[in-house]
Structure 1
Amino acid sequence: MPHPEKIAFLGLGHMGALMARRLLAVGHPLTVWNRTAAKAGPLVAEGAVSAATAAEAVRDADLLITMLSGPDALDAVAAEVVPALRPGTRWVEMSTVGPDAVHRLAARLGDGVTLVDAPVMGSTDRAAEGTLGILAGGDVSGVAHVLRHLGAVTRSGPTGSGAALKLVANTAVLGGVGVAAEALRLAGALGLDEAAARAALAAGPLGGAVARAFADDVHFGTALAAKDVALATKAARLPVLEAVLAHFQEAVTAAPALADADVSQAAGHIIRTL
């Protein structure tokens, strides 16, 4: 029976830590790195090895997984780790960074490393359960057996297509949250009972968006949501999404603690303060 691959997992935020834990639980030798080193502590207690630098983490890895905060973080990590990668390493990029960042990364790697862009749909609850939706661009044949421990893989096309599809999906969700929040703000301005208005919206086409706008058991930081929408509005003219982006940015400016709070908290801010 072949030995499990050595995996380097870089990025231990709300999602990354849960995903890394699942890989550790199924027996993969796991080396972890995070810019804030203390976040590696719980995983080390469960058997992971903590690396002092990103380059150290990847030096002996067969498979590298990144789950980072955005394009700038990916570019910075790539500058450090690319020289340390062994030929034949597979890199699964699971952050939400947009296709341009994925193509920049692919150009850095050359022919010796296989790159799959595989951002995820779902929040912390699904990451903990291993039921994420994984949108995979590129050749996933060499990594599918690992990704299955994290969720169900949907093959989206060539390299960069997973990152592109994730932007489409995220902007639809976040746009819906913004519209639901505005609709409830309108309900308040018209003197309607909020619970009644919310129930009416939940029973209609916006039901999913209303549920996400008031979710209290998941986490998708508002600053990260704003980053995702900003990536989309740079790719195409999207006036509705530009307004949603302004909502999220205004919420974080007015209440900085919302930056790391779930988007449901930002939705509440929109309802109360517009």
Structure 2
Amino acid sequence: MEKIAFLGLGHMGAPMARRLLAAGHPLSVWNRTPARAEPLVADGAGRTGSPSEAVRDADVVITMLAGPDALTAVADAVAPELRPGTVWVEMSTVGPDAVRELAGRLGDGVTLVDAPVMGSTDRAAEGTLGILAGGDTAAVEHVLAHLGTVTRTGPLGSGASLKLVVNTAVIGGVGLVAEALRLAAALGLDGGTARAALKAGPLGGAVDRAFADGALFATDLAVKDLRIAMAAAELPVVTAVSEQFRQAAADPALARADIARAAAHLIRTV
């Protein structure tokens, strides 16, 4: 089976890497905070001290990182080490510009696939993520099948683009629900009644996400995603929503908490 290097073992990366290890792939792992790799190493993953060491003999490289800056730092170390025939699957939410920049840095014979995911930590652990894959996925679809269902989105960068569209809609919907419920409170309405009315309408999915329990889409990462989206197009509504979440993320207790926690904060405050 292909040797896989998995770089980035955060809340999403760790359960994804564990599924590949359980499937029998020889796996080397790296994380900026080494302690996060220890549970996987204890279960058989190869311990590495740097990204370059992790990818040296890999057939497939998978990155699940916090954002474009983290991807650039890893690419500085990794790109010179990749041999022809290696496939790099970039699964972070970084936007299409970062994907295209990464593609320009890779040597001949190295294939890049952009494959960001839809779903939270529970779906990562279950292997039921939605994978939005841009580029030539043929060589790695059997690997990605351990992580979820692949939707081919088109040429390289299209997966990253569609992920921005989806996340912008989700975060915007959660922000709108929070403000609608804040309006309900200002008008003296019962919160449960207002929530039920919103859930019965076209915003039902956003209501569910605003009150999700057990999901983890950190508020500071949501702010990062909206910042990337706003750099691509003029988005006045998203700009307003982003400012609300940015203010919530100024609280360290909310910054790394799920956006549902930030939504609860927005409902209560002006």
TM-score scaled by length of structure 2: 0.99
Residues 1:270 and 2:262 are matched in the alignment: no
The secondary structure found in structure 2 opposite 1:14 is coil
Amino acid at match of 1:180: V
Partner of 1:259: 255
**CA 25–146 in structure 1, closer or farther in 2 if over 3 Å, else same:** same
Where structure 2 has 5 or more consecutive residues not aligned to the other structure, the ranges are none
| d(CA) in 1 for partners of 2:107, 2:96 | 17
Equivalences for 1:1-274 in 2 at 5 Å? 4-253=1-250, 255-274=251-270
The secondary structure found in structure 2 opposite 1:72 is helix
| d(CA) in 1 for partners of 2:41, 2:254 | 30
Q: How many pairs were matched up? A: 270
| d(CA) in 2 for partners of 1:45, 1:209 | 39
Task: State the Cα distance separating 1:86 from its structure 2 match.
Answer: 1.5
Q: CA RMSD in A?
A: 0.7
Amino acid at match of 2:32: R
Q: Work out whether residues 85 and 109 of structure 2, in 8 Å CA contact, stay in contact via their aligned partners in 1.
A: yes
Task: State the Cα distance separating 1:252 from its structure 2 match.
Answer: 1.3
Q: Deviations over 1:166-200 (max 9, x none)?
A: 00111011110000000001001001111111111
Deviating 4+ runs (over 3 angstroms): none
Alignment identity in percent? 72
TM-score scaled by length of structure 1: 0.97
| d(CA) in 2 for partners of 1:105, 1:197 | 46
The secondary structure found in structure 2 opposite 1:237 is coil
Q: Deviations over 1:14-35 (max 9, x none)?
A: 0000100100111001000000
Q: Deviations over 1:233-263 (max 9, x none)?
A: 110000111011101100011x222111000
Amino acid at match of 2:19: R
| d(CA) in 2 for partners of 1:140, 1:112 | 15
